[in-house]
Structure 1
Amino acid sequence: MAARLEQAVDGTTAAALQIFVDHADGCDEIQRKIIEVQSHPDQHKKLRLFPTPEAARLLRISESHLRGLVRQKGFPQGTVVGGNNRRAFTLAEVNEIRRLLFAATKDPRYRVGRQRERGEKLAVVTVANFKGGAAKTTHSVHLAQYLALQGYRVLLVDLDSQASATSMFGHVPDEEFDRLDTLYRLFTLDDGVRTASLHDLVRPTYWDGLDLIPANLGLYSTEFELPVRQIKQRELRFWRILADALPSIDDRYDVVVCDCPPSLSYLSINAVMAANFLLVPIPPSMLDFSSAGRFFRMVYETLSTLAQAEGGRVKTFDAVRLLVSKYAIADANQSQLVKWMSAVFADTLLENRMALTTGLDNAGNLKQSYYELESADMNRRTYERGLEYLNNVNAEIERVIWSIWGRPQIVESVR
């Protein structure tokens, strides 16, 4: 990391700026330690097993039904994890049981992925806001993981050069990835390395059904190179590069989740233009609310300008939703602001709020998501309460995706 940074400057400048190189290396070292502690002994993150009661809830069947399936030939057996033949299952096993149940019963409860034969299109959910600290990455990661738990095939695209979403999956981005491993390769000025396909950038994760396009600091070069490329290629529609690349992975996924940087950058504009579902997290505070207002004005002005560039073709969305994030339930001022938001944004504000919970904070400190925690990691009531908030929000977003697909909402939400 230090060598790459110092290549760009002479010796005197490098010496004067060395403190920043040292601090960058220090942050990477701490991040490695966190990953090593959590991933011991092989230093690779793994998803926990799901005990029979939890696996049954994901499958929307009773525990006794799942125990009966385990005894049937051809069904995954799980792993014995305790006395009385108690079993737990990997996510891949849960998804395989779900597929086998649908094959045997044709019950629509077990068919989760989009149905192309019915014209259900790729759902592209862009999570964006102008201000940092709105929980964009937190919710992008948890939404992608929730959908994977339900059996969808999901691609998470990290468009933020800070690479927090990438880090959540156990990576040290600036050590493990080159900028050509990121979306930079889609946008770069260099014809020799540029790709028009997202296939080359997709990385599997330790979550069955969930892939990642990573980010790192090099992704930020996009913001400097793309304007130059536009000058050289007058016909280039720089705002549609990501949208034009999506057909290359359309057959592999049901949902794409885009995690945006905290600005209306070239990358954010591409994510917004590629989306058919725009999700805007807003913490209930005056500063965040003011910033969100500016974000919406900037989106309006940007899309209006791009419409002119496209001969009057206006970008539209199948859904735009606001999510109350980082909600302190006991805070009277926040409660009042949420009431005002409900009155003003009645048609677009999600009914469920993402509350601040101790468990969510603890998970983030360990580079884990809430879905990777086990109830034994904290007080069970605290764990269940946090999980309920998270599942309720994500289940509501899932129903918005169903509405985009025109699908009858016949599947009950997981609690």
Structure 2
Amino acid sequence: MLNAFAPDARKELRLFSAGEAADLLGISTSFLRKLHFDGKIPDVHTTPGGRRHYSAEDLRKIRIILDASAKSSGTYLKGRREGDKVQVLSFLNFKGGSGKTTSAIHTAQRLALKGYRVLCVDIDPQASLTTLFGYRPEVDFLDSGTVYDAIRYEDPLPFSAIIQKTFFTGIDLAPAGLMLQEFEHETPRALIDNVQPPFFSRMATALQEVEANYDVIIFDCPPQLGYLTMAALCASTGVLITIVPNMLDVASMSQFLQMSADLLDVVSDAGAPMVFDFLRFLINRYEPHDGPQQQVVAFLRQLFGEEVLVAPMLKSTAISDAGLTHQTVYEVERSQFNRNTYDRAVDSLNAVNDEVESLLQKAWGR
């Protein structure tokens, strides 16, 4: 336990096998071997037995080389091109425990491993996403350095001043902490005093300073429909609502959607832009052999049609076990788990996140 949560411990991302590297690059392992043989890509860490292992930074460099020699630019670097707007995704639900943070971090990491430049913005005062990136919000950001400092009403900092590098190549973090709760408390007074910009525009305005540096910005929202969540929604181009397929959660989501619609109508009338490229429901913690869950999923698909992601995120001991040490499935070694359990979890996560990626590409007109 002390090793996992040592006071001065810093997270490091593991290396990836040749098979994993080829999958992430979108090429075959034989083509990857040939690139090494022909001397077209730099050497990587090799074991005494001759097995190659790739860091995320290695993958980034190889991707740049491949794209430069491809027939058309953007074959291997699939992020924004000139004229594309930054894609801003909000993961939200009114109910705690619906898998928002788990979904947000796995999506961010999968996109980063596939070459996208990602900014994670944690706006939950509980700061679970910040913790998963190896920070200790109660120590590191007790008084300052969180998103709150960039959107507060008095003397806000530039957004760039609060962004932290992470151990995960391709991902930066705008951290959260308990101070974020102050935004909820201060906003009613700011509304009375007509402080500009208003609460619903502050996030979008603050992000404008840094958005050119990223392809995708991901919000992990708190489990409530407060001013922070509405500020994130007003800055978003896409929304992913996580839902656990049982009737209590569906009933809760129904109330959440009703309340959201009413509140966002009010905000929209006040001048907030409310146009999303897409809104999708993400089935979370799904157990395919659970009869009642199957019925709930069928009901949701009948009700919302294409707005429910085709791929559900399976409930998996690999995801929960990785979480015990503040890790994700993409961070842990396959050898630490039952291989079938691990593979099933990874396949499920990849299917969800690659579907999200296709929505981003479609929003860019590709």
When normalised by structure 2's length, the TM-score is 0.95
SS at match of 2:279: strand
Q: Which residue of 2 aligns with 1:157?
A: 121
Match of 1:322 in 2: 281
Alignment of 1:52-91 (within 5 A): 52-73=18-39, 75-83=41-49, 85-91=50-56
Pairwise mapping of residues 332-347 of structure 1 onto structure 2 (< 5 A)? Answer: 332-347=291-306
Match of 1:385 in 2: 344
| Whole-Å separation in 1 of the counterparts to 2:22 and 2:269 | 52
Match status 1:309 vs 2:270: yes
Offset, 1:332: 0.5
User: Partner letter of residue 261 of structure 1?
Assistant: P
Secondary structure of 1:109's match?
Answer: coil
- 1:112-153 deviations in Å (ceiling 9; x for gaps): 11112xx21100000011110100000000000010010000
Which residue, 235, 244, 254 being the options, matches 1:274?
235
User: Is 2:66 the counterpart of 1:101?
Assistant: yes
Contact 1:179 1:219 in 2 (8 A): no
Corresponding position of 1:24: none
For 2:353 and 2:135, locate their aligned partners in 1 and report how far apart those are by CA, in whole Å: 25
User: Percent identity at matched positions?
Assistant: 38
Matched, 1:236 2:197: yes
Alpha-carbon offset, residue 176 of structure 1: 1.2
How many residues in Structure 1 have an aligned counterpart in Structure 2? 365
What is the distance in 1 between the residues matched to 2:280 and 2:175? 25
Distance change >3 Å, CA 218–CA 338, structure 1 → 2: same
Q: Partners in 2 of 1:125 and 1:307 — Cα distance?
A: 19
Residue 247 of structure 1, aligned match among 193, 208, 224: 208
Q: How does 1:8-407 map to 2 (within 5 A)?
A: 34-36=4-6, 43-73=9-39, 75-83=41-49, 85-107=50-72, 108-116=74-82, 119-191=83-155, 194-195=156-157, 197-310=158-271, 315-407=274-366
Check conservation: 2:89, 2:238, Cα contact below 8 A: yes
Cross-structure match for 1:6: none
1:291 CA displacement? 1.0
**SS of alignment partner, residue 57 of structure 1:** helix
Q: CA deviation at 1:261?
A: 0.2
Q: Deviations over 1:184-235 (max 9, x none)?
A: 11232332xx12x321111111111111011111221111122223333344
What's the secondary structure of 2:103's corresponding residue? helix
Kept after mapping to 2: 8 A contact 1:35/1:45? no
Q: Aligned in 2, Cα 1:220/1:235: closer, same or farther, shift over 3 Å?
A: closer
Amino acid at match of 2:362: S
Question: What is the identity, as a one-letter code, of the residue corresponding to 1:103?
Answer: A
Letter in 1 for 2:194: Q
Instruction: Give, in whole Å, the separation in 2 of the partners of 1:185 and 1:248.
Output: 14
Which residue identity is paired with 1:141? I
The code of the aligned residue for 2:31 comes to H
- Whichever residue aligns with residue 185 of structure 1, its letter is D
Q: Which runs of 5+ in 1 are unaligned?
A: 1-29, 408-415
* Shift in Å, 1:82: 4.1
What SS is found at the alignment partner of 2:241? strand
CA contact (8 A) 1:342 1:349 kept: yes
Q: Structure 2 CA distance, aligned partners of 1:114 and 1:190?
A: 34
Hey, which of these two has a bigger chunk of helix by percent? 1
SS, match of residue 180 in structure 1 = coil
- State the distance in 2 between where 1:47 and 1:157 align: 20
| Distance in 1 separating the partners of 2:145 and 2:349 | 31
Q: Distance in 1 between the 2:48 and 2:289 partners? A: 39
**Aligned-pair distance for 1:71?**
3.9
Q: Secondary structure at the match of 1:359?
A: helix
1:56 shift after superposition = 1.0
Question: Within 2, Cα distance between the matches of 1:222 and 1:93?
Answer: 40
Question: Deviations along 1:372-394, whole A, 9 cap, x unmatched?
Answer: 11210111111111100000000
- RMSD in angstroms over aligned alpha carbons? 1.7
- State the distance in 2 between where 1:241 and 1:357 align: 38
SS in structure 1 at match of 2:234: helix
Local SS of the residue matching 1:36 = coil
AA partner of residue 360 (structure 2): I
Mark the structure with the bigger radius of gyration. Answer: 1
TM-score by length of 1: 0.84
**Shift of the alpha carbon at 1:75?**
2.2
Change (3 A) 1:270 1:33: farther
